[in-house]
Amino acid sequence: MSRLILALAFLLAALSSPTLPARAAELSYVARHGKADFLTAHLYPGASIVLAPQHLRENIAALTFDDGPDAANDPEILRILAEHDAVATFFVVGRNAAKHPRLLREIAAAGHEIGNHTYEHVRLITQDPQQQDAALRRTNTLLSAAGVAPRWFRPPFGSYDEHTLSIARANGLETILWTIDSKDYRDIPAAVVEDRVMRDLTPGSVILMHSNHRNTVEALPNILTRAKLAGVRFVTLTEWKALMERATVAQAD
């Protein structure tokens, strides 16, 4: 009898529990593999160009920082980038941007780009299209209020479904992922972050880092110094796209 009562209790608990939203099908190569290669569908999904980094005329890379703005780390990151004459793209979370509009303006004034990283950093495949659209639209509105016109979008965790790319385009955003994952979010030693970036750094690389982790700040000076010695110039994603487009034309010639 006690077993029957226990089984009924479990059944009642299961029936009374709120239903979790179903996940849509994961379409992101990066979400499944951790990083992208240079196939357009993997790195720059939805774009019409054929990526051909082997035809780049110079050794460039795009440094990107997710999950800010971060009041503790971003000012130091900006100082380090300025000292090394490097620019980057910052993918900011809307709820953080709402707290630090002045910092947003400082990032933009220093010549860096600011992209949309949704409002609450939720895995988008757990949200319906209306929720996804609201997350991007709300963040765009916040950025616009700070004088920023975002062009780029990066989905949290690199994850997206069949609706996400078209929703991003409808909000004036291009979706970009990464070819190098520094894994700084794991709070590994700065030297390990540095080695992970430098090991895989090739022309056209897009590097994922996070401005809300201290090891990112500690690793950044050596990354910039070593990259410069290797002849790498860091560019914003908009310049990265322009140079990639030229490389595509060169490939066709």
User: Looking at the DSSP assignment, which residues form a beta bridge with residue 116?
Assistant: 92, 153
Is residue 128 among the annotated active site residues?
A: no
| Whether the Cβ atoms of residue 76 and residue 197 lie closer than 8 Å to each other | no
Is residue 210 among the annotated active site residues?
A: yes
Instruction: Indicate which residue of 42, 66, 184, 213 is catalytic.
Output: 66
* Separation between Cα atoms, residue 81 and residue 72, nearest integer Å: 16
Instruction: Indicate which residue of 42, 100, 112, 210 is catalytic.
Output: 210
* Separation between Cα atoms, residue 144 and residue 47, nearest integer Å: 24
Tokens of 193: 């972050």
Active site residues per annotation: 66, 210
